Amino acid sequence: MNAPIASLYFVSAGMLLMGSFHAALMARSSDHVKAAWLFSAICLAFSLFQVSNAAQYTAGDLPAAVDAHKWVNLFLLLIVALIWYLVAAFDDAWYAPVMSHGIAVLIGVVIACNFAAPFGFRFSSVHPDIAVVLPWGERIAVLSGEPSAVSRVVRVVSLALMVYALLFSVRVHRLGERFASALIWGSVGLMFLTTGAASLSDAGTLKVPYLGGFGFLFLAASFSIMVRTNFSNRKLEQVRISSALVQEVERHEIAKQRFQHALNNDPLTGLPNRSGALDRLHILVDLNGLNRTVLAVFLLDVDRLGIINGTRGHQVGDQVLVEVSERLRHNVTDSDLVARLNNGGFLVAAGNLVGEGGVAVLYDRLAAALEAPFLVAGSELRITASAGVAVFPDDGGAAEDVLAAAELALHDAKRSGPGSLGVYRPSLKGNIQERIDFENALKAALIKRQFFLCYQPQVRASDGRTVCMEALIRWEHPTHGLVLPDRFIQLAESMGLIAAIGSWVIESACEQLARWHAMGYDGLRVAVNLSAQQLLVSNLEETVAQAIRRFGLAAANVELEITESVLMQDPESSIARLGALKSLGVRLSIDDFGTGYSSLSYLKVLPVHAFKLDRSFVRDIGKGGKDLEICATAIGLARNLGLDIVAEGVETEAQARQLRALGCHLLQGYFFARPLAVAAANEFLGGPFKSLETGAIPLEFVG
């Protein structure tokens, strides 16, 4: 049979079968398994489509051509349905599979119509002349005629498929799905061309065979190239991964050593961390156990490190920690252990000590090392460190036991204030539980309104008039009864509660002052004590300003008292903060003057209005000697600096007269009144007063 066109269709059918096989292979290792299987099915359908075309074109008469044409239609319809499923396989939209299933049902109906109709689903009638002579003389059977209604529906479905595929192809191309995009773009282009040519052929405008299978053959060949390229890339990737794994194993060995070092050492100081310290501590315990010597384990925690970080920045805080680590290392032997366990916490373990005396000598040496000022960022800082100590073998027979005992001792030391030393004793376990209960009660005290204020008057030495009431916080504990500030203020600082408590004190004191002003005591001031954290960390200016505005007070009638030792921890930051407070118009005073580390160079620039002479100097003033000279010097210094001075702890008339004679402005103490509850304070303010000139003693009320 001299039929080159039919031979060409059969050859293309074989190539499409090969494309189907390649797609099936691709499905086994592809990221798009479903899409690859669908593409394999499309190639198979196109192969059978080409075989059916060859059968139609070589038919000898119209009935034979129509029978073959119905099979052409069948495979064409299957191709349309499969392409819908192919596009939907890449689409995550919920409606994609729904549309595909709907099209499949429609195609099934059309297939039934195809075999039921006389000429297939495409034609309602056909032209009897089916012979077409190709340019090289080959004669083939090409059908043309009147399109049927079903044919028009299928064309609409095909057009919808083209539009849907085109829009989705644009979307996946933007998402970088090159594989899906290439297939769909190629399919869309071929469908446009072959559908247009097929429509013209069916109408008789063009006498050409169906070329869709040849167009798709190009796409199948491209897919085969993609399969081979993908396989080659996978092999190269495997080689690359294998080489990378070998290099990674080598790097891992190096990294493992570095990681082990980082796991057991602190990156800031280079000291062992908790994990590394425990390893070393086990060795020291075993060694001292064999030698029957004492091993002392100290835990030191830098006090108020958070204040340094908050005012000077974490970089300055880190420099302090590095300097602390250096000083500790220089005061122990090479065989001893120095480690950093947490933010401001250090461990020092020293062995071969002789009894309690050796432990005490070591602590004195460590404390002295930290006592000297720290020169950081061009300024001096003074720090203290709370410490807890436990010894092996008395306080524990294992490293973990001794460390736990030292932690309990440190916890106990913090109750006594900054710079204290706690020594482990078995009773600490019960005490710690009691303190935990105390801490929990303190957390709830503000919410449950268990705090209240007492007020102690400050009187003018010249005429005995009350000019200021100092607000003093008290806590009515549910089980312990009345708790004074020295028991809970430092604890509140360590727990981070002091800012909220301090704000409540300022608000309550200002509210009470407003009431006293309403009662006619217009010139009266109120004084409030500030803690270290309030001064250097919290938003103190905003709290004070809001309280003054809320209760309609003059800022000058509110006085803030700051302990001298707090100021000297970080003088430069304290001076800056006091300047910001002074700009509000409030009065500022230094409490416990003479007990800190202040120097005249700082005193002359502190933006304060008054000093409070500490009660320790006032107590023995009547006996003459150094206390009298100190009081006279302090009062003279204040007068020369243009500042008021308040003497605390005045308990006798003789002390009051002596201080008045020295020129002290204000007096405060039990001689005038103890801290008074609000009702007693009201009574005191309304009671009589007399000048010290007359020798009369003012009324005294106990709060």
Write the DSSP string, 389-442.
Answer: EEEETTT-SSHHHHHHHHHHHHHHHGGG-TT-EEE--TTHHHHHHHHHHHHHHH
Q: Which residues contact 579 (CB under 8 A, 6 or more apart)?
A: 607
Give yes or no for a contact between 346 and 367, defined as CB atoms under 8 angstroms apart: no
Q: How far apart are CA 545 and CA 499, in angstroms?
A: 15
Residues 229 and 306 in one domain: no
Residues 211 and 285 in one domain: no
- The 3-class SS string of 549-578 reads HHCCCCHHHEEEEEEHHHHHHCHHHHHHHH
Residues 456 and 537 in one domain: yes
**Half-sphere exposure at residue 522, Cβ-oriented, CA atoms within 13 angstroms:** 1
Instruction: Indicate the helix (H) or strand (E) that contains 5.
Output: helix 4-29
Residue 680 CA: distances (Å) to CA of 457, 509, 510, 700:
11, 15, 18, 10
Residues 535 and 421 in one domain: no
pLDDT band at 690 (very low <50, low <70, confident <90, very high): very low
Residue range 23-43: mean pLDDT, rounded: 75
**What's the pLDDT score for residue 637?**
84
Give yes or no for a contact between 90 and 173, defined as CB atoms under 8 angstroms apart: no
Residues in the chain: 703
Residues 576 and 486 in one domain: yes
Q: How far apart are CA 532 and CA 687, in angstroms?
A: 36
Crossing angle of the two packed helices 498-518 and 678-686, in degrees rounded to 10: 30
Nearest to 88 by CA among 172, 146, 27: 172
Residues 65 and 143 in one domain: yes
In the structure encoding, which two tokens stand for residue 328, read together? 């500790």
Nearest to 160 by CA among 183, 123, 186, 191: 191
Among 617-626, 631-640, 653-662, the range with the most confident prediction by mean pLDDT is: 653-662
Give me the number of domains the chain comprises. 3
Comparing 310-314, 318-322, 402-406, 692-696, the range with the smallest average pLDDT is 692-696
| Residue 388 domain flag | yes
**Higher pLDDT pick, 698 / 632:** 632
Q: How far apart are CA 295 and CA 254, in angstroms?
A: 36
Residues 453 and 562 in one domain: yes
| Residue 204 domain flag | yes
Nearest to 471 by CA among 458, 486, 489: 458
pLDDT band at 594 (very low <50, low <70, confident <90, very high): low
**What's the pLDDT score for residue 693?**
56
Nearest to 125 by CA among 173, 31, 62, 56: 62
* Peptide bond between residue 393 and the one before it cis (omega within 30 degrees of 0): yes
pTM, two decimal places: 0.50
**Higher pLDDT pick, 585 / 694:** 585
Above pLDDT 70, what percent of the chain?
Answer: 82
| Residue 296 domain flag | yes
Residue range 123-129: mean pLDDT, rounded: 83
Q: Is the pLDDT of residue 6 over 70?
A: yes
DSSP state of 377: T
| Residue 300 domain flag | yes
pLDDT band at 431 (very low <50, low <70, confident <90, very high): low
Give yes or no for a contact between 536 and 572, defined as CB atoms under 8 angstroms apart: no
Q: Which CATH number do you get for residue 629?
A: 3.20.20.450
Q: How far apart are CA 377 and CA 570, in angstroms?
A: 12
pLDDT band at 179 (very low <50, low <70, confident <90, very high): very low
Q: Which CATH number do you get for residue 83?
A: 1.20.1070
Phi first, then psi, for residue 553 (nearest 5°) are: -100, 155
- Three-class SS state of 136: coil
Q: Which CATH number do you get for residue 366?
A: 3.30.70.270
Q: Among the three residues 397, 426, 455, which one is the final residue of a domain in this structure? A: 426
Residue 332 CA: distances (Å) to CA of 80, 176, 336, 353:
87, 64, 6, 12
Q: Where do the DSSP E strands lie in 581-620?
A: 587-593, 610-613
pLDDT band at 697 (very low <50, low <70, confident <90, very high): very low
| Residue 240 domain flag | no
Q: Among the three residues 178, 205, 233, which one is the final residue of a domain in this structure? A: 233
| Residue 301 domain flag | yes
- Three-class SS state of 458: strand
Residues 333 and 461 in one domain: no
Comparing 75-79, 173-177, 512-516, 685-689, the range with the smallest average pLDDT is 173-177
Residues 70 and 208 in one domain: yes
Residues 18 and 40 in one domain: yes
User: What number of H helices and E strands is found in the chain?
Assistant: 24, 20
Q: How far apart are CA 568 and CA 164, in angstroms?
A: 78
In the block, which residue shows the tokens 């916490």? 345
Q: How far apart are CA 420 and CA 162, in angstroms?
A: 84
Residue range 652-680: mean pLDDT, rounded: 91
| Residue 182 domain flag | yes
∠ CA(395), CA(397), CA(402), 5° rounding?
50
Q: Is the pLDDT of residue 557 over 90?
A: yes
Residues 100 and 193 in one domain: yes
Q: Among the three residues 233, 248, 283, which one is the final residue of a domain in this structure? A: 233
* Burial classification of residue 533, based on how many CB atoms lie within 10 Å of its CB (0-12 exposed, 13-18 middle, 19 or more buried): buried
* Residues of the domain holding 633: 439-686
Crossing angle of the two packed helices 33-57 and 212-264, in degrees rounded to 10: 170
Phi first, then psi, for residue 651 (nearest 5°) are: -120, -15
Crossing angle of the two packed helices 62-90 and 95-116, in degrees rounded to 10: 170
Phi first, then psi, for residue 486 (nearest 5°) are: -65, -15
Nearest to 499 by CA among 306, 321, 675: 306
Listed in sequence order, the DSSP H helices in 265-354 are: 274-291, 305-312, 314-330
Residues 29 and 110 in one domain: yes
Chain centre distance of CA 108? 59
In the block, which residue shows the tokens 């304070």? 681
| Residue 243 domain flag | no
